[in-house]
Structure 1
Amino acid sequence: MHCHSLLLDIGNSSIKCRELTRTAREDSGMDIVRWRPLMTFADVDALLAYLGEKKARFNSVLIGSVRSDSDDTAILKRLTPYATTIELAQTQSAALGLTNSYANPQKMGVDRWLAMLGAQLLCGQNFLVIDAGTAVTADFVVNGLHQGGWIAPGFSLAQEAVTGHTARVTQAPSHQHTIAFGQNTEDCLHFGCLAQLHGIVHQAKLLAAQFGEFDVILSGGDVDRLRSLNQAARNEFIFVDNIVLFGILRMALADMSLDNAQKVARSLLI
């Protein structure tokens, strides 16, 4: 058996995807699973142009989307010619060894749910997953039970919140990812928002510490702004470019035990 799947993370500002292949072994051992490098598209039109050019056809397309219901319906319709089956991820009260703390699971963004499912593949029983994108989210899981989380403005949103409400504060591009005190307004804003982002990580770790040992995953579009944390923390963090796609991978491997799915995921992380 050979299965070819497309895993899609449809965010607010871009679409990220990986092509996944799964081949059954003749000796009945664990399936051979591989995926291609991460690809990013500006919008659905760019993705479909790529798929059309290569005349792609998949056994399945698995999607995690934070778009509106109407957008999702339109996207599913446009993807139909490229797949035998299409599955749109939904936040659930419990699935695949993970139990949600929300009384109304549908109020939780599916990106957070998928981030936890993805972290489950790469961590021990207790973990904190922080996804730093347009918004920065933090979620803590103990023995498969979601303890709760946070949502806060991401780095860029924090900057825009200041510049959009003050006449004399401006921002400028900066590649400085180690926190310092700024000596001009632009640097002050940059380092202040960077400190705020780092502070979310530190405070989440302090709160989670009451449960004993745990792993920490840092991911998302602003993950590079967090890498300097490892210099002072003795490499205690697991950095993942896109943890949501690992959550979609968990969906693709739903028929596997968690132990086997973890072995697959950790081999793909290398």
Structure 2
Amino acid sequence: MNNIDESQVILVDIGNTRIKYSLLSHAEDEPSACEDAKSLFFFIDSQQKISHLYIASVRNQDLVDEISTMCDARNIIFVEKQTEQEAFGIKNSYANVQKMGVDRWLAMICAAEKSKNAFFVMDVGTAITVDFVVDGQHLGGWIIPGFQVMRNALVASTQKVFANDEIPTTFGVGTDTEDCVASGCHAALYGVYLSAVDYISSKRTEFDIILGGGDKKVFAFLKSADNMRLAHLVMQGLARYARCELLK
């Protein structure tokens, strides 16, 4: 298999809101995004020769099946990754691994490549997921409403509370209702981060923090510590599988 070039492999991450994609050769770069399979294949068809498509999805199966059918029509080998009990030295804590979203599993696979210490990996998107790994053992994790879900739920549940579309990148307090909502949701997310630091600190004195997701800019106010790494979690988790299976 080692005659496959990384530019012949495309990685596809179907999240809750968008489809993100990247060539394996560009897995460390910011991924591109589109809304539907037609747009995805407009890019695929523009490439010289895509031989493999690696995909992970947290959405319903219909879109995955559509992409699989379009791959078949082009003789592209279609590989969908699922959550596993163990891979790359990571042992899953879930008794039923199919109950864990593949995005969380791939985030851990990505993070484990970037850290030789204990770590927690935090994916900041529509939902925020946090997972803790010590000595290769997944201890468990958290799932929290993301910034926009939290803000929208607050506005929908109250009559005189309003919000704007701004996502804070500096930490502070608000001086009008819209700013108070944004700052309050921001503070709640920061509380999750601090709780994660507190929890991993109770297990190991040395640990790393792997941070990713489309809304990770909400933590831009943090000074990037020596033990913090930024990553395109799902994409780089898929890349690790693809390189292992195709190139070695």
- By the TM > 0.5 criterion, same fold? yes
Picking from 121, 134, 139, the partner of 1:142 is 134
**Which residue matches 2:78?**
86
Picking from 198, 202, 208, the partner of 1:210 is 202
1:37 CA displacement: 5.5
Pairing 1:222–2:199 present: no
RMSD value over aligned CA atoms?
Answer: 2.2
**Which residue matches 1:237?**
228
Instruction: Work out the CA distance in 1 between the residues paired with 2:183 and 2:23.
Output: 37
**Which residue matches 1:248?**
238
Kindly provide the amino acid, as one letter, of the partner of residue 138 in structure 2: H
- Whether the aligned pair in 2 keeps the contact of 1:125 and 1:144 (CA below 8 Å) is no
- Whether the aligned pair in 2 keeps the contact of 1:130 and 1:137 (CA below 8 Å) is yes
Kindly provide the amino acid, as one letter, of the partner of residue 39 in structure 1: S
Q: SS of the residue aligned with 1:178?
A: coil
Instruction: Work out the CA distance in 1 between the residues paired with 2:95 and 2:44.
Output: 39
Kindly provide the amino acid, as one letter, of the partner of residue 20 in structure 1: L
**Which residue matches 1:265?**
none
1:10 CA displacement: 1.0
Instruction: Work out the CA distance in 2 between the residues paired with 1:50 and 1:255.
Output: 24
1:34-183 matches, cutoff 5 A: 38-52=31-45, 54=46, 56-183=48-175
Deviations 1:153-195 (A, max 9, x none): 0000000110111111111132531221111100000000011
Instruction: Work out the CA distance in 2 between the residues paired with 1:168 and 1:36.
Output: 42
1:124 CA displacement: 1.4
User: Number of aligned pairs?
Assistant: 243
Cα gap change, 1:17/1:83 in structure 2, threshold over 3 Å: closer, same or farther? farther
- Structure 1: give runs of 5+ residues left out of the alignment: 22-32, 262-270
Instruction: Work out the CA distance in 1 between the residues paired with 2:69 and 2:228.
Output: 39
**Which residue matches 2:18?**
14
Deviations 1:5-26 (A, max 9, x none): 00111112111111124xxxxx
Instruction: Work out the CA distance in 2 between the residues paired with 1:158 and 1:207.
Output: 23
1:38 CA displacement: 2.2
Deviations 1:52-105 (A, max 9, x none): 3x1553221100111112332222112323453111010111122211000000
Which segments of structure 1 move beyond 3 Å, counting only runs of 4 or more? 33-37, 81-84
- Whether the aligned pair in 1 keeps the contact of 2:28 and 2:236 (CA below 8 Å) is no
Q: SS of the residue aligned with 1:253?
A: helix
Instruction: Work out the CA distance in 2 between the residues paired with 1:235 and 1:36.
Output: 21
Cα gap change, 1:239/1:37 in structure 2, threshold over 3 Å: closer, same or farther? closer
Q: SS of the residue aligned with 1:229?
A: coil
1:110 CA displacement: 0.4
Instruction: Work out the CA distance in 1 between the residues paired with 2:28 and 2:184.
Output: 38
Instruction: Work out the CA distance in 1 between the residues paired with 2:110 and 2:177.
Output: 39
Cα gap change, 1:171/1:37 in structure 2, threshold over 3 Å: closer, same or farther? closer
Instruction: Work out the CA distance in 2 between the residues paired with 1:35 and 1:193.
Output: 30
- Whether the aligned pair in 2 keeps the contact of 1:57 and 1:82 (CA below 8 Å) is no
**Which residue matches 1:185?**
177
